[in-house]
């Protein structure tokens, strides 16, 4: 059984973390599996969305502590490099990446989700960055991307205390975008399906503009948004959609 499972449903790839006996703790094999799946998605022109989910009751308890304990400097560099590669793939893809969070969504796994386009959480989720308790800082963006999402003060509180919060609080502060009663994967699939019904070039323009704004700065993102708008205004499919709207 693969430690990371992938399926394709229509134009959506679903990536499932599959180590439920370890609460889907991230070891090097799992990280490599996630990176490989995302790389495949980035090169598949027929896909329009990617969802990252999990088997079992929990999304992920974070990095595998036993493996972290065994790392020397070289191993730590390699472990971190794989997480960085996952983040870069999420950011560089032109299609949206949606995370479906449930149960415990902690540490490095939550941090990776912070770079996604949309995060959906089950109502009973517990989210947090407890790395401080074992004496390590964030491994995948919890000290860099998290402040952008929730503000420096709240990011400092979560990272420096290791507190876990529930899904509703996570939504209130901007850590997740939607909270659902049932399986967050079902909602994620609905979102992916709706996004896939729109013009691919338009979705690409929205993602690229937002990524540039968050990563490179507001002025660069605004300039990117402007260039896409001008390009799309003359797009044939966009014109057809406008004509349909005008004839309603």
CB 226 within 8 A of CB 241: no
Domain identity same for 210 and 154: no
Mutual orientation of helices 200-216 and 218-233 as an angle, nearest 10°? 160
Total number of domains in the chain: 2
Domain identity same for 184 and 214: no
CB 142 within 8 A of CB 200: no
Domain identity same for 205 and 172: no
Cα four-point dihedral sign 192, 197, 201, 202: negative
Q: 28: burial class by Cβ within 10 Å (0-12, 13-18, 19+)? A: middle
Active site residues: 111, 131
What's the pLDDT score for residue 161? 95
CATH number of the domain that residue 80 is part of: 3.90.226.10
Q: Give the residue numbers spanning the domain of 209.
A: 200-246
Whose CA is closest to 84, among 131, 2, 4, 145?
A: 145
Q: What is the pLDDT of residues 77-105, one digit of tens each?
A: 888 889 899 999 999 999 999 999 999 99
Domain identity same for 170 and 217: no
Domain identity same for 50 and 169: yes
Domain identity same for 111 and 148: yes
What is the CA angle 62-67-73, rounded to 5? 110
CB 86 within 8 A of CB 108: no
pTM: 0.92
**Residue that has been written with the tokens 């950011």 in this structure:** 91
CB 57 within 8 A of CB 22: no
Domain identity same for 214 and 96: no
Domain identity same for 235 and 183: no
Domain identity same for 183 and 102: yes
Of 196, 214, 236, the last residue of a domain is 196
Q: What is the pLDDT of residues 131-153, one digit of tens each?
A: 888 887 887 888 889 999 999 99
- Lowest model confidence (mean pLDDT) among 19-23, 29-33, 128-132, 241-245: 241-245
């Amino acid at each position: 059984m693969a430690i990371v499972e992938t399926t394709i449903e229509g134009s959506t790839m679903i990536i499932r973390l599959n180590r439920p006996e370890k609460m889907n703790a991230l070891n090097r094999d799992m990280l490599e599996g996630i990176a490989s799946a995302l790389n495949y998605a980035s090169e598949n022109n027929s896909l329009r969305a990617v969802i990252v989910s999990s088997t079992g009751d929990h999304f992920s308890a974070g990095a595998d502590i036993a493996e972290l304990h065994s790392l020397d400097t070289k191993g730590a560099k390699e472990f971190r490099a794989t997480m960085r590669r996952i983040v870069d793939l999420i950011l560089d893809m032109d299609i949206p990446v949606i995370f479906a969070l449930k149960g415990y969504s902690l540490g490095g796994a939550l941090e990776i989700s912070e770079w996604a386009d949309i995060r959906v959480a089950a109502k009973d989720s517990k989210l947090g960055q407890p790395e401080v308790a074992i004496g390590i800082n964030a491994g995948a963006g919890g000290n860099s991307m998290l402040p952008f999402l929730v503000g420096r003060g709240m990011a400092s509180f979560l990272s420096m205390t290791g507190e876990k919060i529930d899904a509703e609080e996570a939504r209130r502060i901007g850590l997740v975008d939607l909270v659902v009663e049932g399986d967050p994967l079902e909602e994620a699939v609905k979102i992916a399906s709706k996004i896939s019904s729109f013009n691919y070039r338009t979705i690409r323009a929205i993602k690229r503009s937002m990524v540039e704004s968050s990563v490179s700065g507001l002025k660069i993102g605004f300039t990117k948004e402007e260039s896409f708008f001008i390009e799309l205004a003359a797009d044939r499919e966009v014109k057809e959609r406008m004509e349909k709207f005008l004839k309603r």
